[in-house]
Chain A
């Protein structure tokens, strides 16, 4: 896998960030794609090839796990490890936004 793997640095790419968010509720791949599109009001759309790549990656890193499904479509959900990495990444992103707001003198800086 690529040498500058952001996962190894404990950082999530934007796509991973939203996919992990989606999997706080068990979902299968296509529902995750729909969730991301709806949550971001179309700002972010995940393509099927990107989706499959990321699912495999998150599984390998044990940030998500497959669930014993009933039907043929595989459902996934976030693991404890995944949730803790997601929480850290939310804080990291929040800190970034706060820094920017303070400098740009925007609303939202407290």
Chain B
């Protein structure tokens, strides 16, 4: 079976856009199989008119997947026992049906990312202040390396935090 990689711009920013893109791909016969690093793996098959929905849920039990299945949403794949994608027919009802719970969908992710970004941010400042001192070249190189890693970590938690927060605010504003 032929496979294809589809890149992701980050679920915090492009969830809806990417779900719609997965639907267009399915209509062309390319179906979501699983998450891949910074994207998705698709496999070739028959064209299908379907809709995809994504949910965040840490370690859900069997009842969770049962509820989706009996509402016409087939579980496709998950990552980290935390992010789950479901596939439904065109007439399957939305997986979130009210503002309150839709807002909560993003609230936990916002909090997790915010907490991680805060810790990394403090670490970043602490490391930065170490550069005020004179260090032997070896130590300085190591410090620069660590600083670089922390910076990357900060970007990959700080940006999603802003994205989830923005999204949650928009949902509570627009209803």
Which A positions have Cβ atoms within 8 angstroms of B?
1-2, 6, 13-15, 28-30, 33, 44-55, 72-74
Quick one: which of A1, A15, A49, A52 has the most chain B CB within 10 A?
Answer: A49
* Residues from 8 to 49 in B contacting A, C-beta threshold 8 Å: none
Looking at the complex, which one of A2, A29, A45, A74 makes contact with B104 (CB distance below 8 Å)?
Answer: A2
Looking at the complex, which one of B60, B71, B102, B104 makes contact with A33 (CB distance below 8 Å)?
Answer: B71
Residue total for B at the interface (Cβ-Cβ under 8 A): 26
Bound CA–CA A48/B92 (angstroms): 11
A27 nearest CB across to chain B (Å): 12
B71 neighbours in A (Cβ, 8 Å):
30, 33, 47-48
Which B positions have Cβ atoms within 8 angstroms of A?
53, 55, 57, 60, 62-64, 66-68, 70-71, 73, 93-98, 100-105, 107
A72 neighbours in B (Cβ, 8 Å):
62
Q: Are A54 and B66 also in contact (CB < 8 A) when A47-B71, A49-B96 are?
A: no
B67 neighbours in A (Cβ, 8 Å):
29-30, 33, 48, 51-52
Quick one: which of B55, B60, B101, B107 has the most chain A CB within 10 A?
Answer: B101
Q: Are A2 and B66 also in contact (CB < 8 A) when A45-B97, A49-B95 are?
A: no
Cβ-defined contact, B98 with A52, below 8 A:
no
Q: List 21 A-B contacts (CB under 8 A).
A: A1-B107, A2-B103, A2-B107, A13-B98, A15-B97, A15-B98, A29-B67, A30-B66, A30-B71, A46-B98, A47-B93, A47-B94, A47-B96, A47-B97, A48-B64, A49-B57, A49-B96, A49-B101, A50-B102, A52-B67, A53-B105
Bound CA–CA A2/B104 (angstroms): 7
Cβ-defined contact, B73 with A48, below 8 A:
yes
Bound CA–CA A33/B98 (angstroms): 13
Bound CA–CA A6/B62 (angstroms): 28
